[in-house]
Amino acid sequence: MENNYYLSKKRLLTLLVAAIFLFFGIFLRLAYIQVVWGKQLQQKASNQWQRDLPIKAYRGDILDTNGSLLATTETSYGLYARPQSVVDADVCAQTLANILQKDYQKLHDKLTTRGVSEVTLATTITVEQAEQIRECNLQGVYIASKGVRSYVYGDFLSQVLGFVSSDGVGQTGIESYYNKYLQGIDGKLLTETDLVGQELKDGSMNYISAVNGLSVTLTIDATIQAIVENVLQLAMHQQNPQGARCIVLDVTTGEVLAMASKPSVDLNNLPRDDLETLMKYSKNTLLTDIYEPGSTFKVLTAAACLEEYVKGNPNAFSATHVFGNSAGTRIIDGSKIKCWTKHANGKHSNQTLADALNNSCNPIFTDIALSLGKDVMYDYLNKFGYGKPTGIDFQGEQGGLLVSQTAVTRGDLARIGFGQTIAVTPLQLCMATSAAVNGGLLMQPYLVKEISDPTTGQVVQRFYPTVVNRAVSEQTSATIAKMLEGVVKNGGGKNAYIEGYQVGGKTGTAQKFVNGALAQGKYVSSFVGFFPASSPKYLCLFIVDEPQGQSYGSIVAAPYAGLIFREIINYKQIEPLE
């Protein structure tokens, strides 16, 4: 009897423990369903007895630095239907076919589709069509307003603004980079339905309003941008090149004031059915494409030379040093490096560094680079931002192309000294030149000034100038700026000269590479300039790709930069300094 008692007690205890584990397992399962699956199951339940009408948020505006509208969202209408709620598909289809001038059968097929809660009858209808459809009171058919992206000036700032997809999501440019601020949050209208999806006559209705996107204000000045685009178009007409590009920026802050390339695209009429053309002309090549800068790069070599002299480097040269070698060539590791001119009658003999910049004498900049050595030259390449992206607020920026410091030869270094064997983006060249003349500071460029809430006017985020590093001293920078003013007064940049405004700059002409080899007769002509040289503010880089006829940057590019400077002077009403 005693054994039976203990056996029964043991079984009871086992049963109790099993029951506890069972209930504990059920409790954990319920907790898991409630906590982890709760929202998902609630959504499924809601979908069974509710239908939601989407309310699209309006995409935020894009403005220029002065508040002028560049991109906005206009109201359009879309037509939709819930097949389960359509009472008479025949009448409904015929009515809509008459109003929309669409095929009756296609509309009828959509209205009688089974297994879907909603169908799209027309992505865009006119205001008049919307009013007619509302008057017909077709059950199961509804109209929803939506925003359609509109660009105020069409083919204007197109590579910077970018564009959106058909459903309003940023694809390129500012539209893409700042999409999370511009897109807003969609709302919805919830209505109760029965088991088959038909709306209940006395059912409740819940409205969740959309939150429209924020406004993005650019650093771009629309007036300066218009000046640049007009001058680019003039260059396209007069030089008949493959393309022309230009950047204007504030050297003291890094703000991009204008940025454009030609040819471009009309943002209101994009060739979406021709992706090759779309991507070719909508790409911002000023950030994404690289090229050999040629003589415009000599600004860095000159700055490095002067800065090292100030530091006491015995291999550097002073501003007053006279380079006596009058030969127009150098033989480096068995390879001949030539100047752009034949040096007839000793034209380039006994030059100072300022003379070498004026005459754009390749051999002297070869001598400087080799004298400083690769370690020093690469240190300055890094300080001036070459070989890495500038950090601008834009997708797809490239970092340029440098020969590895460990692999660079004397021949490579010699050519780097005058802007060959190195590939840069136009924006990199702009920022490096700015650092050479603005007091020595390498700035980070930026395109957006602030992001704000259009309903309250409150600034959500503001962007400020950012110093990346010091490239050279103020003393060296002032000397370089003065030398480059001489280039425009007396040297190759004289076609950009403006009486009384201390314009400085440097021209460049570089032969193009095609399929890894130099292409005969194909050049990139450029000019990078700034003013006023005594206290630089505005900088302009103008590039002409494969001009027909003359190819020298002094003839092909400098006059257009000078024209842009003149227009900025008129616009800003800047008084002469001299």
Q: Is the pLDDT of residue 275 over 90?
A: no
What pLDDT is attached to residue 48?
Answer: 47
Residue 233 pLDDT more than 80? yes
502 pLDDT higher than 80: yes
Whether the bond into 532 is cis, omega within 30 of 0: yes
Residue type, 509: T
Residue found by looking up tokens 């911002």 in the block: 284
Q: Which of 53-57, 114-118, 569-573 has the highest mean pLDDT?
A: 569-573
Cα–Cα distance measured from residue 336 to residue 358, given in angstroms and rounded to the nearest whole number: 23
Average pLDDT, the chain: 88
Residue of higher predicted confidence among 561 and 277: 561
For residue 7, the model assigns a pLDDT of: 61
- Interval 273-277 mean pLDDT: 88
Choose, from 76, 261, 295, 526, the residue flagged as catalytic.
Answer: 295
User: What are the boundaries of each domain within the chain?
Assistant: 51-188+214-218, 222-572
Q: Which residue has the higher pLDDT, 451 or 28?
A: 451
pLDDT reported for residue 367: 93
Q: What is the DSSP code (8-state) at residue 381?
A: H
Among the listed residues 202, 81, 189, the one whose alpha carbon sits nearest the alpha carbon of residue 136: 81
Residue 195: its pLDDT value, please? Answer: 45
**For 51-188+214-218, which CATH class?**
alpha beta
Given a cut of 50, is residue 13 above it in pLDDT? yes
Read off the pLDDT band of 185 (50, 70, 90): confident
Q: Residue 332's beta-bridge partner residues?
A: 335
Residues in the chain: 578
Measured in Å, how far apart are the chain's first and last C-alpha atoms? Answer: 123
The pLDDT of residue 180 is above 90 = yes
- Give me the residue label for tokens 């508040």: 67
Indicate the SS3 state at residue 97. helix
At 528 the pLDDT is: 98
Q: Dump pLDDT digits (tens) for 522-561.
A: 899 999 999 999 999 999 999 999 999 888 899 999 999 9
| 310 CB burial (10 A radius; 0-12, 13-18, 19+) | middle
Read off the pLDDT of residues 430-482 as tens digits, 9 standing for 90 and up: 999 999 999 999 999 999 999 999 989 999 999 999 999 999 999 999 999 99
Q: What angle do CA 385, 387, 388 make, to 5 degrees?
A: 70
Q: How confident is the model at residue 49 (pLDDT cuts 50, 70, 90)?
A: very low
Q: Thinking of the domain 222-572, which architecture would CATH place it in?
A: 3-Layer(aba) Sandwich (3.40)
Pair 381, 419: CB distance under 8 Å = no
pLDDT in tens, 284-298: 999 999 999 999 999
DSSP annotation string for 330-376? EEETTEEEE-SS--GGGTTSSB-HHHHHHHT-HHHHHHHHHHH-HHH
Q: Does the structure show a pLDDT above 50 at 196?
A: no
Is 76 considered catalytic here? no
Q: How far is CA 559 from the centre of its chain?
A: 27
Which pLDDT does position 380 carry in this prediction?
Answer: 98
Give pTM, 2 decimals. Answer: 0.84
Instruction: Answer for the pair 295, 508: CB distance below 8 angstroms, yes or no.
Output: yes
- Looking at residue 561, its pLDDT comes to 98
Using one digit for the tens of pLDDT, what is the confidence trace for 327-351? 677 888 877 777 777 665 556 678 8
SS (HEC) of 475-528: HHHHHHHHHHHHHHHHCCCHHHCCCCCCCEEEEEEEEEEECCEEEEEEEEEEEE
The reported pLDDT for the residue numbered 219 is: 98
Determine the Cα–Cα distance for residues 281 and 289; give it in Å rounded to an integer: 13
Helices 38-49 and 2-35, axial angle in degrees (round to 10): 60
Query: What is the band of 42 on the pLDDT scale with cuts at 50, 70, 90?
Result: low
Q: Measured between alpha carbons, how far is 463 from 458 in angstroms, rounded to an integer?
A: 14
Q: What is the mean pLDDT of residues 277-285?
A: 93
Q: Minimal CA–CA distance to 333: which of 415, 409, 416? A: 409
